[in-house]
Amino acid sequence: MELATLIRFRRELHQIPELGFKEFQTQKYLLSCIQEMANEHVEIQRWETGILVKVSGLNPTKTIGYRADMDGLPIEEETGLPFSSTHNGRMHACGHDFHMAIALGVLNNVIEHRIQDDVLFVFQPAEEGPGGALPLLQSDAFNKWKPDCMFALHIAPEHPVGTVASKPGLLFANTSELFIDFIGKGGHAAYPHLSKDMAVAAGSFITQIQHIVSRGLDPLDSAVVTIGKMTSGHVQNAIAETARLEGTIRTLKPSAIEKVKSRIENIAKGFEVTYDCQINLDYGSNYYQVYNDADYVQTFQEAMTNCGIVFKEAKEAMTGEDFGFMLKDIPGFMFWLGVDSPYGLHHARLAPKEEALVVGVKAVVHTINQLSSKEN
């Protein structure tokens, strides 16, 4: 498939970002593209706002799975591009428009040049939240065509076009959202003794939980507890009756994230007594670590050498990806695709270089071929 077609796919998808499990327009667009490519060797299933596409092999002994995520982010785009988002407050700021365009390009290639094995393309909704991978894994639709291996890519703004990066073992961290609501008693600023100030309670709570990593965990268990948003009160001369903290927990070990949560819960119990208030905890979306199978990474590296794409050894990162649930259940791997953008992931000015689209298609096609030629 020519770069111009891939660019058209990407730009048309870039203009219609939608949030998790609301990707109705995106699903409709993808289905129209897929149905135009499809022939008698292609089967299509819908799942929620996602799509599963199976291309039958010539003489299959296994099914190779490839995933592309679909959803956008609640970010107002600031790129100034002529094909900017037409949905106010929504943007493909994590590169899922790239992921879907590349998957369409690979699908077209596999349809036109069938291989020995079956190939399952998974267009997955809600990666950014609330998490589509786990319920998809548990669905009848997925298990009807459950693959023997799975892989996926993610764009990497820090890597140049023409390069990919991966590593065996841990690639992405275990992550959890964190929402904490404080409920006290409001009142006049002149009479604090008649109130229960939740701005003070929440402020103190932020400081207290920062000790969890430094004093509550083994120093070798890397972890991050970040509060990125705090809201409280309505006016400067009234004591805040409520407060809300929003943040994230990230660890390199599954056991460490449970320790962090346990410590937060114990601290919350103490604060309820100390500040005579009610505290409600919600962990939102939780993602399992992305842990790459060493043999599959080796196969991927060999495929990149054979097709002339530069392979780099990646480092583990505290980023989260719900593809980790798939790799927990099915062997495989994820890799970074260099797109050379001065602005990083989740930035309102993220602008990946579109030449990377053909590199992505080439990398995935050669990997599928390499996996198909590999003995079971």
**For the segment 84-124, what is each residue's pLDDT rounded down to a tens digit?**
999 999 999 999 999 999 999 999 999 999 999 999 999 99
Peptide bond into 219 cis (omega under 30): no
List the catalytic residue out of 18, 23, 69, 322.
69
pLDDT at 255: 94
Architecture of domain 174-286: 2-Layer Sandwich (3.30)
Question: Does the annotation count 128 as an active-site position?
Answer: yes
pLDDT at 269: 98
| pTM recorded for the entire structure | 0.94
pLDDT at 1: 87
Q: What are the DSSP calls for 192-245, one per residue?
A: GGGSB-HHHHHHHHHHHHTHHHHHHS-TTS-EEEEEEEEEE-SSTTEE-SEEEE
Span(s) in the chain for CATH 3.40.630.10:
3-172+289-373
Can you tell me the distance from the alpha carbon of 100 to that of 351, in angstroms, rounded to the nearest whole number? 16
Which of helix, strand or coil describes residue 130?
A: coil
Contact 153, 364 (CB under 8 A): yes
List the catalytic residue out of 18, 128, 241, 293.
128
Dihedral of the alpha carbons of 13, 14, 17, 20, in degrees to the nearest 10: 70
**For the segment 116-149, what is each residue's pLDDT rounded down to a tens digit?**
999 999 999 999 999 999 999 999 999 999 999 9
Strand partners, 335: 153
Question: Does the annotation count 112 as an active-site position?
Answer: no
pLDDT at 374: 81
Averaged over successive runs of 10 residues, the pLDDT of the chain (376 residues) comes to 96 98 98 98 98 98 98 98 98 98 98 98 96 97 98 98 98 97 98 97 97 92 95 97 98 95 98 98 96 98 97 95 97 98 97 98 98 83
pLDDT at 376: 62
| Domain spanning 3-172+289-373, CATH class | alpha beta
Span(s) in the chain for CATH 3.30.70.360:
174-286
